[in-house]
């Protein structure tokens, strides 16, 4: 029996196959799609993202996926955002002034400090600041792979969403959780066994398959 149906949103940005392949590896029936009907019936939805905040928001809109994202989040089904996908959930980004984000979470995206190399393109240790089911079994300071030049800064109303940070010129938000929404700045699909373990936990939360 196939695992839970997971819609990996395909909006023409970057290489999304690695996320799809990793999700399949841990048991999901993962499918790259821009079909709102498939997104609506999926057991879980994944919003990957690489590149420029504004370009990603425009591509989401051009592919007709903004409303399906909001519907998926509002449905209570497991929703996972990765890298720029995490950033898109917030209200705005310094990278693309005047471009509104999805506004699912309160806060904005800011450039990493000028005194560190941008992008952060390296393995870095997580500091888990509150327990989360997806982070179980990965230890207290697991290594994850990051590629980003900006990071989210939650508004006061969103500070409690932070579940993990890393140290890169100061505390950088590495993962957030609000209800059914889990989002990571790092790439779990590129983070070896611990990253796959996070994806496996998330896929398990999507249900028993069909």
> Residue 81 CA to chain centroid, in angstroms?
2
User: Catalytic annotation on 206?
Assistant: no
- Record the pTM: 0.96
Q: Classify strands 150-154 and 107-111 as parallel, antiparallel or unpaired.
A: antiparallel
- Residue 180's closest CA among 31, 22, 42, 66? 42
| Paired tokens of 128 | 């888990």
* Cβ count near 172 (within 10 Å): 23
Per-residue model confidence (pLDDT) at position 210: 44
148, 187, 201, 206: which one is catalytic?
187
83, 148, 201, 206: which one is catalytic?
83
Per-residue model confidence (pLDDT) at position 2: 81
DSSP 160: G
> What distance in Å separates the CA atoms of residue 55 and residue 52, rounded to the nearest whole number?
5
Per-residue model confidence (pLDDT) at position 208: 56
Which whole number is the average pLDDT over 3-25? Answer: 92
> What distance in Å separates the CA atoms of residue 82 and residue 186, rounded to the nearest whole number?
7
Which whole number is the average pLDDT over 62-70? Answer: 97
95, 189, 201, 206: which one is catalytic?
189
Residue % of the chain over a pLDDT of 90: 92
User: Catalytic annotation on 25?
Assistant: no
Q: Which alpha helices (DSSP H) does the chain contain, by range?
A: 17-25, 36-41, 53-62, 66-75, 84-88, 192-205
Per-residue model confidence (pLDDT) at position 194: 97
- Judged against a pLDDT cut of 60, whether residue 37 lies above it is answered with yes
User: Catalytic annotation on 187?
Assistant: yes
- Judged against a pLDDT cut of 80, whether residue 51 lies above it is answered with yes
């Amino acid at each position: 029996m196939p695992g839970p149906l997971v819609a990996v949103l395909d909006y023409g940005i970057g290489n999304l196959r690695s996320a799809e392949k990793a999700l399949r590896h841990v048991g999901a029936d993962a499918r790259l799609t821009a079909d709102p009907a498939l997104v609506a019936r999926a057991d879980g939805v994944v919003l990957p993202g690489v590149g420029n905040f504004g370009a990603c928001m425009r591509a989401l809109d051009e592919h007709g996926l903004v409303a399906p994202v909001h519907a998926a989040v509002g449905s209570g089904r497991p929703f996972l955002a990765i890298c720029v996908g995490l950033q898109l959930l917030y209200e705005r980004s310094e990278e693309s002034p005047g471009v509104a984000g999805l506004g699912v979470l309160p806060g904005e995206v800011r450039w990493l400090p000028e005194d560190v190399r941008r992008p952060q393109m390296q393995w870095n240790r997580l500091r888990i600041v509150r327990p989360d089911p997806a982070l179980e079994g990965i230890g207290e300071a697991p290594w994850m792979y990051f590629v980003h030049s900006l990071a989210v800064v939650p508004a006061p109303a969103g500070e409690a969403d932070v579940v993990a940070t890393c140290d890169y010129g100061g505390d950088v938000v590495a993962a957030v959780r609000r209800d059914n929404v889990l989002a990571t700045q790092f790439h779990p699909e590129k983070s070896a066994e611990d990253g796959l373990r996070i994806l496996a936990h998330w896929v398990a939360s999507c249900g028993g398959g069909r």
